[in-house]
Amino acid sequence: MDNKTQERINAWLSPSYDQATRDEIKKLQQQNPADLEDAFYKDLEFGTGGLRGIMGVGTNRMNRYTVGMATQGYANYLKQSFNEVKVAIAHDSRNHSREFAEITANIFAANDIKVYLFEALRPTPELSFTIRHFGCQGGVVCTASHNPKEYNGYKAYWDDGAQLVPPHDKNVITEVEKIKSLDDVKWSGGEKNITIIGKDIDEKYIEMVKSLSVYPDVCVAQHDLKIVYTPIHGSGIMVVPQVLKRYGFDNVHIVEEQATPDGNFPTVSYPNPEERETMSIGLQKAKELDADILLGTDPDGDRVGIGVKNHKNEWVLMNGNQTALLAFNYMIEARKAKGIAQPNDMVVKTIVTTDMIDVIAKANNVNCYNVLTGFKWIAELIKEKEGKENYIIGGEESFGLMIGSQIRDKDAESAVAIICEMTAYEKDKGRKLFDKLIDLYVQYGLYKENLISITKKGMNGAKEIADMMKTYRDNPPQMIAGIQVVQLLDYQNQTDVNLQSGESKKISLPRSNVLQFILEDGSKISARPSGTEPKIKFYFSVNTKLDNTADFDAKEKELDDKIAAIIGDMKLKS
């Protein structure tokens, strides 16, 4: 164990830290020195979105001390940036989330900052809405989103209700890094500055979500649409049932086994609606009830997964790209049919989200912008285009949608409502949602995407991922699965290189550690290390023409085989 790590451990064994913390460190010293080293070998990084890590004692863990020191740094920056400061604070169902939220509230309040603290757990998007509603300068939600139960986190927000973007992200990090001691933190003394909020804000948020409806009359006509919903032991239960009721749906079935908020997530190993295992109880209930649609939201209520019956009447889970393209198309197509589309309507997606959305937008004369991964970049673009273009929807492949501009983060609650409205819209025509999906493939081309996440844990994990990216960057493959690589987009170096002519253009987006390989046949492979987990993600996108619905299965298999060949040639294993 190096000297720096031992110094951190010794500091935490001082009386400045509570007895339970010191006892836990001594226990680890005796029983698991490797875990102790991992808990102290570095400080838990306050990244551009905030904190996220395993809960426990140590400088590299989520605990009351790391949360407290981060909050003091953030408070210092807010006070430097604004004359008067108000913040809103929310949390999800994770273990210690309420404790972390209250610690955060107390420290802000002790720094003479006005605090709006939710009375109990609430979805992340409601926090974004609340920041804008009260005219706050910042906000925090204590959550680790869809991570396993061992994790917790701390997302920091700015005055537009979005997560931090440059220069504020780096400036907050600088201030957090200045906090070297517990003595630098104002832990208490400003309790009078805390206001508890709850149902009144719920009502305003639900009304906002209701205002997003394009065809409320269709929802009323299809009020008995059979909906199965699971909050996966998370915060969605606080709002989603009320939202669906407000939309007029009165045949909603909650998955009772997953209805109670519980940070241990007892029915799943990974509380992520992207995972089939996580959605399996809901799928079973949907089958038993012969439902029209299944929906699931993650613990902090910002991601949504859906299950539908396909063209063979089999229950399938849609991937995030399919959900996004259906939602984007609905907001474009339905607004046009209703006569409420604007000539300056715009949509926004991320660079790793299906290019089929670009094709749909172009065909409908709607501007489609591509931004870096993360809804903060969608929010930043909305701010940049405000007054010039009319934002209607944004999204990314990782099961996130943001509908309307009244919040500035991904919102599973409004997504659930609009997806149910879409389903009702198709049912009103005697069709299933999946029928619409295939029709879009015939109209615009069949796009198929896949994702592989490779986890590299421990102290060496970050280096292995960095080495992998360096190899791809310095020696890009010339051929993948027998297809020539014709273009390399390097978002870190901000270069777009034509590998055939050698011509290079500048990428105008901010720097980000992402590489994209474009193949001669239009296939695209993206490599992107995660900013919140010890993972590197590879995204695959292929496409072909689909002449008619009868060819769907054969053409889809062709694309699946092509992705498998690409993954095999790149020697990638999840």
Distance between CA 515 and CA 549 in Å, rounded? 34
Is there a single domain that holds both residue 78 and residue 159? yes
Q: Is position 318 within any domain?
A: yes
> Contact 378/368 with Cβ under 8 angstroms?
no
Is there a single domain that holds both residue 179 and residue 257? no
Distance between CA 441 and CA 555 in Å, rounded? 11
CB hemisphere CA count around 414 (13 angstroms): 34
- In 355-407 the beta strands, taken as DSSP E runs, fall at 367-371, 390-396, 400-403
Quick one: pLDDT band at residue 47, thresholds 50, 70, 90? confident
Checking if the pLDDT of 458 tops 80, the result is no
Is there a single domain that holds both residue 535 and residue 474? yes
Quick one: pLDDT band at residue 533, thresholds 50, 70, 90? low
Per-residue pLDDT of 150-179, as tens digits, reads 999 999 999 999 999 999 999 999 999 999
Q: Is position 234 within any domain?
A: yes
Q: Is position 263 within any domain?
A: yes
Q: Is position 432 within any domain?
A: yes
Per-residue pLDDT of 302-343, as tens digits, reads 999 999 999 999 999 999 999 999 999 999 999 999 999 999
Is there a single domain that holds both residue 379 and residue 263? yes
Q: Is position 54 within any domain?
A: yes
pTM of the model: 0.95
Q: Is position 364 within any domain?
A: yes
Checking if the pLDDT of 574 tops 70, the result is no
User: What is the sign of the dihedral through the CA atoms of 372, 378, 384 and 388?
Assistant: positive
Q: How confident is the model over 344-364, as a mean pLDDT?
A: 98
- Where among 375, 410, 444 does a domain terminate? 444
Is there a single domain that holds both residue 108 and residue 160? yes
Q: How confident is the model over 493-497, as a mean pLDDT?
A: 95
Q: Any idea what the CATH number is for the domain that residue 423 is in?
A: 3.40.120.10
Checking if the pLDDT of 459 tops 70, the result is no
Distance between CA 195 and CA 123 in Å, rounded? 18
Pair of tokens at residue 563:
């992705």
- Which helix (H) or strand (E) element contains residue 195? strand 194-197
Is there a single domain that holds both residue 282 and residue 188? no
- Where among 426, 444, 462 does a domain terminate? 444
Is there a single domain that holds both residue 184 and residue 229? no
- Where among 444, 475, 505 does a domain terminate? 444
Q: How confident is the model over 32-56, as a mean pLDDT?
A: 92
Range of the domain at 485: 448-569
Q: Is position 529 within any domain?
A: yes
Q: Is position 574 within any domain?
A: no
Checking if the pLDDT of 532 tops 80, the result is no
Closest by CA position to 258, among listed 284, 277, 231: 231
Which of these is catalytic: 97, 145, 414, 512?
145
Instruction: Fill in the amino acid letter for 290.
Output: D
Is there a single domain that holds both residue 90 and residue 119? yes
Is there a single domain that holds both residue 232 and residue 108? no
**Does 145 participate in catalysis according to the annotation?**
yes
Which residues partner with 88 through β-bridges? 116, 139
Is there a single domain that holds both residue 12 and residue 64? no
Is there a single domain that holds both residue 238 and residue 384? yes
Count of domains forming the chain: 4
Is there a single domain that holds both residue 230 and residue 174? no
